[in-house]
Amino acid sequence: MPLEGEYEPSPTKWVREQVELYESSDGAKGTTIRGMPVVLVTNRGARSGKIRKTPLMRVEHEGSYALVASNGGAVKHPVWYHNLIASPVVELRDGPKVRDMRARLVTGEERRTWWDRAVDAFPDYAGYQRKAEREIPVFVVEPLD
Ligand code: F42
C-alpha cells in the first residue's frame, strides 16, 4: 500500500464513528448514510503528512468513482480537497474492496457528466451546489494500474 503513516481520526464524531464501523467490519457495516452507499477515502494531510480517512458518497461508473467536495454545501472546500490536490494517490474502500487509486480534478464536459451521475446517486448535492457560493469540485479517481 503506498499510503502509510500515522492515522489521525476525524475531529467530527459521527464521521469518525462511520469510519470505525466501516473498517472494523471490513466493509460489512457502516457502508451507508440515510440508506445511500458510502465509500472511504484514505488520504494524506497536506500539512501534517498524517493519514486521514474521509467517508464520501459512492458515485461509481465502470470502476472509476467521483469524489464530490460538497462539504454539506459550506462556502469553503473541505480540507480533504487540498489534501488530494497535494497528494492525489488515495486508497478507496468500497464495501470489502480496497484499491489504490489516483485522483484528478475534472472540469468542463467531463465534470458535467460526473456531476449528473453524482446527483443521481445523492440528490442532495444539487441543493448543496445552490447554497455553496462556489463551484463544488469533483475529482475522478481511477485505479493506479
Ligand atoms: N463530505 C463531502 O464533502 N462530500 C460527501 O459526499 C460526503 C459524504 C459523507 C458520507 C458519510 C459521512 O460520514 C460523511 C460524509 N461527508 C462528505 C463528510 C466528509 O467525510 C468530511 O467530514 C467533510 O467533507 C469535511 O472534510 P474535512 O477534510 O474538512 O474534515 C474536517 C472536519 C477535518 O477532518 N478537519 C481536520 C481537523 O483536524 O480540523 C483536518 C484534517 C486535515 O486533513 N488536515 C490537513 C493535514 O495536513 O493533516 C491540513 C490542515 C490544514 O489546515 O491545511
Does the Cβ of 85 fall within 6 Å of ligand 1?
no
Does the Cβ of 69 fall within 6 Å of ligand 1?
yes
Distance, in Å, from the CA atom of 16 to the CA atom of 38, rounded to the nearest integer, reads 14
Whole-number Å distance, alpha carbon 124 to ligand 1 midpoint, is 18
pTM for this model (two decimals): 0.96
Residue with cell 464520501: 56
| pLDDT confidence of residue 145 | 76
Residue nearest to atom 38 of ligand 1 (CA): 11
- Choose one of 13, 15, 81 to mutate for the ligand 1 pocket test, by most ligand atoms within 8 angstroms of C-beta: 15
Whole-number Å distance, alpha carbon 111 to ligand 1 midpoint, is 21
Contact 138, 67 (CB under 8 A): yes
Please give the chain's pLDDT, 145 residues, in tens: 578 999 999 999 999 999 999 999 999 999 999 999 999 999 999 999 999 999 999 999 999 999 999 999 999 999 999 999 999 999 999 999 999 999 999 999 999 999 999 999 999 999 999 999 999 999 999 999 7
Does the Cβ of 46 fall within 6 Å of ligand 1?
yes
Does the Cβ of 129 fall within 6 Å of ligand 1?
no
The single-letter code of the amino acid at 32 is T
Whole-number Å distance, alpha carbon 62 to ligand 1 midpoint, is 26
